[in-house]
Structure 1
Amino acid sequence: MKKTLFAEFTAREGAVGEVARLLRDYAREVRAEEGNLAFDVYTKEADPHAFWIFEVYRDENAFKAHLNAPYGPPFNTALAPLIEEDASVLTYLDALD
């Protein structure tokens, strides 16, 4: 079964450009993962500080591999001081069949 989630966070004032740069680099890495099916990054039209990421992985094992990728911790460390939340807010999704 696919693993699907939605991550969201808000860039601090003055940090939008740096957050976008980090996300572009990180997205390239994640999209190259064998088990990644989607890693789509958005900003809210009415509030470009709000970042939303839609992620889909082939299955739970692919998601676990993503969590253990070596580029994840450096990304999260660099992102943490640039966002208002303590970390990305994650919402796990189930598809309606």
Structure 2
Amino acid sequence: MKKTLLAEFTVRPGNEERVAELVKDYAVRVREEPGNLAFEVYTKESDPLAYWIFEVYEDEAAFRAHLAAPYGPPFNKELQPLINEKESVLTFLTPLG
């Protein structure tokens, strides 16, 4: 069963350029993971500081492999002081039907 989620966070004002750079670089790496099916980065049209990242992995094992990737912890460590939340807020999604 596919593992689908939405990761959300809000950039602290003044950090827009650095966060965009970090997320773009991270997205390239995640999209190269064998079990990644989607890693789409969005900002809210009405609030460009609000990021929504739609992620899909082949299955739970692919998601776990993503979490274990060596570039994840450094990304999160650098992102954390640049956003309002303690960390990205994850919402796991279940398809209808």
On whether the aligned pair clears a TM of 0.5, the verdict is: yes
1:6-85 equivalent positions in 2, closer than 5 A? 6-85=6-85
Count of residues in Structure 1 that have an aligned counterpart in Structure 2: 97
> Which 4+ residue blocks in structure 1 deviate beyond 4 angstroms?
none
Gaps of 5+ in 1: none
* In structure 2, distance between residues paired with 1:18 and 1:50: 14
User: Secondary structure of 1:6's partner?
Assistant: strand
What SS does structure 2 have at the residue aligned with 1:39? strand
Counterpart residue identity of residue 16, structure 2: V
* Percentage of pairs with the same residue: 67
The secondary structure found in structure 1 opposite 2:6 is strand
1:10-69 Cα distance to aligned partner (Å, 9 max, x none): 000101111110000000000000000000000001111000000000000000000000
SS in 2 for 1:78: helix
Amino acid at match of 1:8: E
